[in-house]
Structure 1
Amino acid sequence: MTRAVAKKPETSVTLLEAAKVVLRRTGYAGLSTRDVAAEAGVPLSQIHYHFGSKQGMMLALFEYLNAQLLDRQSAMFTDTTLTFSQQLDRACDYLDDDIASGYVRVLQELIAASWADPTIAKVVRAAIRGWVDLIIAAARRAERAHGSLGPFTPEEVAALISNAFIGAESLQLLGLESKSVPLRRALRRIGDLLRQAEDAASSG
């Protein structure tokens, strides 16, 4: 009689880390479960056992990375010792870490894949919405503390910031950042504009 073998969490994480490596090398379209299994040094059957399919594995990878990022973002955007502009400064500081971790590449690959895959689109939308909601809440606190955010509502501020970061990350992966396309510097200017509004409110 054969005993059922419990899924080992460490095997699942090993596969997700391997998937991240292969994704960065081949992109979503070129990624194969066989390559991921070889990178992880485990049988191909383990991918089907843990995730069911390539799609399931990629969604698990995204959720694995996004949970880490959202925990960090939540701690940052709910830190009442920081002003809204300081929170955005810190978000800019984290950009290189997010690129190095593989999160940005996974997000951008899955955004592209989601255009033709409603299941992936649903997961990606929910993840981005969680991040946008954190920014909206931070913008509302800033509005209560300092008054108007210029002509923008907190929701519009969050839409602009989220679009700016996701767009900058996409162009960064394309290697477009240069002296004439200063992506990081432009992102930091958003914090500078908010700082001016905060200073004006404090002095008024």
Structure 2
Amino acid sequence: MIILAFDIFGTVLDTSTVIQEFRNKQLEYTWLLTIMGKYVEFEEITKITLRYILKVRGEESKFDEELNKWKNLKAYEDTKYLKEISEIAEVYALSNGSINEVKQHLERNGLLRYFKGIFSAESVKEYKPSPKVYKYFLDSIGAKEAFLVSSNAFDVIGAKNAGMRSIFVNRKNTIVDPIGGKPDVIVNDFKELYEWILRYK
């Protein structure tokens, strides 16, 4: 049975409701910390980033409001296909978010039942696209081959670099990044992903 490791933020959960400067800086901080050999919990990075962005914007009073948006992200409409996908594939979560945070998001959106397990960057104290995150996942489930499913180009590149196969969910109709090699599969949404799995079988 095909093994799929789903990225969560931006792939399963729609992050367009939060300030995009915040989301971009949040990712930047995870990369900087990993490069510097330092680790800060993802929830704390989220708060630090949000405070910084809101201070730059002169909107510090909106902290609680904006943090609440992050904590209540909605799943994309097409994630309803996770039910069908989970019936013909082994479905896992592989996220920079903590296991507890990811679990809460999936549970709130009624999706937790479709995942066999949740794996987090917190286990290796480095963030994607560090090779350690992807290799940790493969080692943990005892698999030689698995597909990362992500809408984040850096994530797809990271997975390929670490020896995983990749499926790019091209939600924003973007050009594939030239660095890091092409994804093994490109789909526009989870419906197309489900249809591809049916053919793959």
- TM-score of the aligned structures, taking structure 2 as reference length: 0.36
Indicate the structure with greater helix content: 1
Q: Which has the larger radius of gyration?
A: 1
Larger RCO, structure (CA 8 Å, separation 6 or more)? 2
